[in-house]
């Protein structure tokens, strides 16, 4: 993995500290070309990996990249799935059964409806694979060496104790996409314990890691111990705590944790991208 990964929160109005900033960002990036322009700026500055959700607009970005292989031939995408809002909106618009019907092929959906809860439970792994395959269609022909399970699902599975789903996801990603399975979580220590129990060795895990313990379930000390003592490949996100920590102070803390392999960050201007890159390289 590259040391620096570019994230996509800023493109879709996600800001964990300020709704006003989130709305402003969402307005700025209404057009797909404005997203592409920022990605091109990051690429020109040497950041060649984009860690992105499976938002419908990302499909348009992927179309653009497929259409320009000379520019993006070496570009890397790390899909993060599912994009929860897409499924939540489908449930709101069509109801639970309607949402399932939208994303699950007809024959499987019919069997689930006829068989009820027993069939749905038995075929949960099969449905998971179908949903992963549906999400991955937009990345066809592009380089996706790492595929992430989003924290909204990772942490739900942790809470429900559905440990087998982690190994099933990992196996499917390896066998079908010849990629590395990876996980995003808000509870790093607990996820590492669960992945050990599931036999997912040396996993790639992305989690909030920052100086003030923002979105670090279990506390900063538990994270620091896990980073120092556990065998996994660590990606740090939310390193600035949504702007609560000055850039150099934030990155000094993260870069002191020598076992952290990569830092994912989002930015919307050339100046902020350059500043973050320069600080990370200097540290």
Does the pLDDT of residue 118 top 60, yes or no?
Answer: no
**17 falls in which pLDDT band (50, 70, 90)?**
low
pLDDT the model gives residue 279: 98
CA distance 273 to 227: 26
> If pLDDT is split at 50, 70 and 90, which confidence band does 155 have?
very high
Residue 129: asked if its preceding bond is cis (omega within 30°), the reply is no
- Report, as an integer, the average pLDDT of 126-135: 87
Report pLDDT for 43. 98
pLDDT of 185 over the 60 cut: yes
Better-scored residue on pLDDT, 217 or 117: 217
- Percent of the chain, pLDDT > 90? 73
* Residue 220 to residue 123: CA distance in whole angstroms: 38
Give the model's pLDDT for residue 121. Answer: 52
Report the chain's mean pLDDT, rounded to a whole number: 89
Radius of gyration of the chain (CA): 19
Residue 4's pLDDT band, with cuts at 50, 70 and 90, is very high
Give 44's pLDDT tier (boundaries 50, 70, 90): very high
SS3 content of the chain, % helix, strand, coil (to 5): 60, 15, 30
Cα(25)–Cα(200) distance, integer angstroms: 37
Which has the minimum average pLDDT: 134-138, 179-183, 202-206, 252-256? 134-138
Whole-angstrom distance, CA of residue 84 vs CA of residue 105: 19
What pLDDT is attached to residue 119? 47
First to last CA, the chain: 18
Condensed to tens digits (0 to 9), the pLDDT of residues 58-107 reads 999 999 999 999 999 999 999 999 877 676 666 678 776 676 666 665 65
pLDDT reported for residue 15: 59
- What pLDDT sits at residue 126? 82
Distance (Å, whole) CA 273 – CA 110: 48
Check whether 2 has a pLDDT greater than 60.
Answer: yes
Question: What CATH number labels 4-83+145-282?
Answer: 3.20.20.100
Per-residue pLDDT, averaged over 33-37, amounts to: 96
pLDDT of 127 over the 90 cut: no
pLDDT at 150: 95
pLDDT for 49: 98
């Amino acid at each position: 993995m590259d040391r620096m990964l570019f994230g996509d929160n800023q493109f879709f109005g996600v800001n964990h500290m300020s709704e006003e900033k989130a709305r402003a960002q969402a307005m700025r990036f209404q057009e797909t070309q404005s997203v592409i322009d920022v990605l091109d700026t990051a690429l020109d500055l040497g950041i060649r990996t984009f860690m992105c959700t499976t938002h419908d607009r990302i499909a348009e970005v992927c179309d653009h990249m497929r259409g320009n292989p000379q520019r993006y031939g070496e570009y890397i995408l790390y899909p993060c799935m599912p994009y929860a809002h897409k499924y939540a909106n489908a449930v709101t618009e069509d109801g639970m059964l309607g949402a399932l019907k939208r994303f699950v092929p007809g024959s499987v959906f019919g069997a689930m409806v006829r068989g009820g809860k027993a069939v749905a439970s038995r075929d949960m792994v099969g449905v998971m694979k179908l949903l992963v395959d549906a999400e991955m269609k937009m990345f066809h022909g592009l380089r996706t060496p790492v595929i992430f399970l989003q924290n909204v699902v990772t942490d739900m599975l942790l809470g429900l104790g559905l440990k087998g789903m982690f190994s099933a996801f990992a196996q499917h990603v390896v066998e079908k996409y010849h990629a590395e399975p990876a996980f995003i979580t808000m509870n790093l220590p607990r996820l590492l314990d669960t992945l050990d129990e599931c036999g997912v060795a040396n996993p790639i895990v992305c989690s909030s890691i920052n100086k003030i313990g923002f979105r670090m379930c279990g506390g900063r000390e538990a994270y620091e111990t896990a980073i120092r003592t556990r065998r996994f490949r660590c990606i740090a996100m939310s390193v600035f705590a949504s702007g609560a920590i000055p850039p150099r102070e934030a990155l000094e803390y993260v870069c002191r944790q020598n076992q952290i392999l990569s830092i994912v960050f989002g930015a919307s201007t050339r100046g902020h991208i350059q500043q973050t890159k320069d600080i990370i390289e200097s540290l």
